[in-house]
Amino acid sequence: MSDPGHHSAPSSARPAVLRAASLWLPAGHPWRRLPAIGLVLAVVGLGASLAIGFMSEAARSQLWHSWLVGSLFVLSIALGALFFVLVHHSTQAGWSVVVRRIAEDIMATLPFLALLFVPLLAFGMGDLFHWSHAKEYLNTKFFVIRTVVYFAIWSALAIWFGRLSRLQDDTGDHQLTRRMRKTSLPGLLLFALTVTFFAFDWLMSLNDGWYSTIFGVYFFAGSAMAFFAFFALAVIAARRNGLLAEVVTTEHQHDIGKLLLTFVAFWAYMAFSQFLLIWYANLPEETSFFAQRYTGSWLTAGAVLLFGHFLVPFFLLLSRAAKRNPKALAALSVWLLAMHLLDLYWLVMPKLHPVGLVPSLLDATALIGCCGVFLAAFGGALKRQALVPLRDPRLPESLTFENM
């Protein structure tokens, strides 16, 4: 993640930057209302979902499927942020220091997003997973234990790296950077294992008897892509709202755009690899997943993903101008987040509606509620600390970063 095209900043430039007002959320700034706005959206969205979802047995099943899609959507963004922070430290990246705190604020939502899965575990298992009715197939108690372990590991990593980053703001201790670098490598290993098995548990096991060894990487690729899309939006929005003006430049935006392009391509590679291996083997227990999605409007949704999730954004993001233009990159980011949501919908909903897409009001209310929880947690993290790691030893390098 390092880039050779940078120059060292003179030490005299650093204090002026550290005093810049745009490095904190000032009193009265609109973003200080994000926690309150998010809380309102969460209460209204999730409350409406529960009220509608318990009106009938069919509505209840729709409720938990819609809730799962919304929860996975926001969780995938937070997991992508955790991945970015871990890779930043493990590679000793310099360019990304000034935007790392935004990623830390996004990953700080993980402990709160765990709460979204509590109702699913307590009330939704029977509607989501057919195997939960057959004790000899999969063990529900062990499933719950594994889920708790996943969120405990992700939350612990997010809290630990976030705490050391904030501590360095106060102390300026360079040993903290070394500690984070050493911990990031085992952290990445834990991340890879937990995300893979989480995808197996919460997505792959929705389809009874179907399996794919590449499915965990497929979910990770979509999560990373969704994070970089949201990351680009957050950085662009911050600059437009008078934040980070002295430190974040078009050069940093350009690199975020390059990473977005990378994971657009990586997601497509994983999707194609999974399809090709299953198509070539042509085994009934493997082809059932795609056979179901070759029916009715699910086939149309798959075609939309092919063009909207890969071909169109891939060729647009190849352009240097698109990655450096805030409006163009923001528009592509919004589009890709919509495609990521469709991808999750395409993974979850055919089990409930095998004949094709059946849009529901619960899809909207559950998504609004889950996004509200995410927004409230993200906004709260923004208020608690500076928007930039103020005393990171690689900050001067990041301040003068230039793409070659």
Determine the angle formed by the axes of helices 250-281 and 215-240, rounding to 10 degrees.
160
Task: Please indicate, yes or no, whether the overall pTM of this predicted structure exceeds 0.85.
Answer: yes
CA distance 397 to 404: 15
Give the pLDDT of residue 19: 52
Tokens of residue 362, six digits: 């619960």
**Does pLDDT of 164 surpass 50?**
yes
Give the pLDDT of residue 189: 98
**Does pLDDT of 17 surpass 80?**
no
Contact by Cβ (8 Å): 97, 391: no
397 exposure class (CB count in 10 Å sphere: 0-12, 13-18, 19+): buried
pLDDT tens, 296-324? 999 999 999 999 999 999 999 999 999 99
C-alpha closest to that of 243 among 377, 373, 98, 104: 98
pLDDT tens, 380-402? 999 999 999 999 999 999 999 99
The CB density around residue 193, as the number of other CB atoms within 10 Å, is 13
> What 3-state class would DSSP assign to 401?
strand
pLDDT tens, 252-265? 999 999 999 999 99
CA distance 253 to 387: 16
C-alpha closest to that of 278 among 223, 212, 344: 212
Return the ∠ at Cα 35 (arms to 29 and 37), rounded to 5°: 90
Radius of gyration of the chain from its Cα atoms, rounded to whole angstroms: 21
The phi, psi pair for 186, rounded to 5°, reads -65, -30
Tell me the average pLDDT across 139-152: 95
Domain ranges of the chain: 29-399
CA distance 350 to 291: 11
pLDDT tens, 351-385? 999 999 999 999 999 999 999 999 999 999 999 99
Return the ∠ at Cα 118 (arms to 343 and 124), rounded to 5°: 65
**Does pLDDT of 6 surpass 80?**
no
**Does pLDDT of 137 surpass 90?**
no
Q: How many residues does the chain have?
A: 404
C-alpha closest to that of 214 among 273, 263, 261, 171: 273
pLDDT tens, 29-57? 999 999 999 999 999 999 999 999 999 99
Contact by Cβ (8 Å): 265, 311: no
**Does pLDDT of 199 surpass 90?**
yes
Least trusted range by pLDDT, from 6-20, 42-56, 92-106, 227-241: 6-20
DSSP assignment letter at 120? I
Four-residue CA torsion sign, 30, 321, 246, 14 = positive
The amino acid present at 225, given as its one-letter code, is: M
The phi, psi pair for 401, rounded to 5°, reads -65, 140
CA distance 340 to 72: 10
> What 3-state class would DSSP assign to 139?
coil
